[in-house]
Homo-oligomer: A and B are copies of this chain.
Amino acid sequence: MLINCAAYQNGKKIADIPKPEISDYIEQPDSFVWVALRDPEPAELEEMREEFGLHELAVEDVQKGHQMPKIEEYGQTLFVVLHLLELDADATIQLGEVGIFVGPNYVLSIRNRSQINFLNVRERCEQEPHLLVHGAGFVLYALMDAVIDRYFPIIHSLEIELENIEARIFSGGSSTRESIEEIYKLKRKLMRVQHSITPLHEAVTRLHGGRVPQVCSQLQEYYRDLDDHLGRITHTIEGIRDMLNTAIQVNLSMISLSESAVTKKLAAWAALFAVPTMIAGVYGMNFEHMPELKWGLGYPSALVLMVILDIGLWLYFRRAGWLGSSDEMIKIKD
């Protein structure tokens, strides 16, 4: 579906144009055409391929989708694939794609499977004619900047998830099993995001510094700024990965520790039952000559002995930390 098709000259929009006139405008000096498609039909793509003279391999990539982010040069044309990441209602990450063809005097963006639109990019560009005068190269920058800016809230949501997991681990909280599952899921998400960002970062590095594609050559500082943003994201992702690995190990330690606590509690309670049982066993023996059995206070004495020994044991285990407090007992359930 065609979203937009406009011609620009010297940094200003001159007209919305119909598709067949694209080739006319492309030939004019100091002007460029900016076309935006969304989930296009094969026929639309084919039309564009002819209009702009795109390479069949690049068009095939757009058609098939599921590409890694990349920046490829086909002669004068730059072909850029970016991933569009969105958090949906239940915090899962939705993945869309945008393919951008940039020639000396045209920009063609093709968005697939995503709700993110670029209308605000067009607005921003049109408000800055002193930058838009750089032509297609600046539009590419503005589009990439808009896509990359969308990554920050995603990364931030992953940081929040990590913090929740940490809080849960150290609260000795109620559901270790869920902690483990959440750790794993966060790892999964992280991989998915990294899959979208790492290759892009590598590719953007080649848009500034040494030899760069013609179309970016006058906007070095701007493309370096993109690189810088991606660098920050990459650093943050690496940090989350590293902490997550530590969290897995720390969580295992906590599980072992709480298992140890359970065993201690088991031992302590077993002892508290075993003592009276043993004493009762002794006075249940059938020897003829057992003087205590005849005493009037024999029975209560035996009961008192049982209670005293159990209280002693109780205090001992309490001091040794084997019994824990009752709210701790709740804590260490899984």
Q: Are A329 and B334 in contact (CB under 8 A)?
A: no
Q: Are A253 and B221 in contact (CB under 8 A)?
A: no
Q: Shortest distance in angstroms between A90's beta carbon and chain B's nearest beta carbon?
A: 17
Q: Which of A166, A260, A302 has the most CB of B within 10 A?
A: A260
A243 contacts B by Cβ under 8 Å: yes
Residue in B closest to A271 when the chains form the complex, CB atoms: B269
Q: Are B274 and A280 in contact (CB under 8 A)?
A: no
Q: Are A282 and B280 in contact (CB under 8 A)?
A: yes
> Within the complex, which residue of B67, B262, B283, B292 is in contact with A263, where a contact is CB–CB below 8 Å?
B262
- Measured in the bound complex, the distance between the Cα atoms of B253 and A322 in whole Å is 20
Q: Shortest distance in angstroms between A83's beta carbon and chain B's nearest beta carbon?
A: 12
Known contacts A191-B242, A260-B255, A273-B278; is-contact A298 B302 (Cβ 8 Å): no
- Measured in the bound complex, the distance between the Cα atoms of B301 and A288 in whole Å is 13
Listed stretches A31-39, A42-50, A175-183; interface member: A175-183
- Measured in the bound complex, the distance between the Cα atoms of B251 and A249 in whole Å is 10
- Measured in the bound complex, the distance between the Cα atoms of B203 and A228 in whole Å is 12
Q: Shortest distance in angstroms between A5's beta carbon and chain B's nearest beta carbon?
A: 27
Binding site for B on A (CB under 8 A): 55, 57, 67-68, 70, 72, 74, 166, 170, 172, 176-177, 180-181, 183-184, 187-188, 191, 195, 199, 221-222, 224-225, 228, 231-232, 235, 239, 242-243, 246-267, 269-271, 273-278, 280-290, 292-299, 302-303, 306, 319-322, 329-330, 333-334
- Measured in the bound complex, the distance between the Cα atoms of B184 and A166 in whole Å is 9
Q: Are A191 and B267 in contact (CB under 8 A)?
A: no
Q: Are A232 and B67 in contact (CB under 8 A)?
A: yes
> Within the complex, which residue of B55, B250, B290 is in contact with A183, where a contact is CB–CB below 8 Å?
B250
Q: Are B243 and A188 in contact (CB under 8 A)?
A: yes
Q: Are B298 and A287 in contact (CB under 8 A)?
A: yes
Q: Shortest distance in angstroms between A201's beta carbon and chain B's nearest beta carbon?
A: 13
Q: Are B72 and A224 in contact (CB under 8 A)?
A: yes
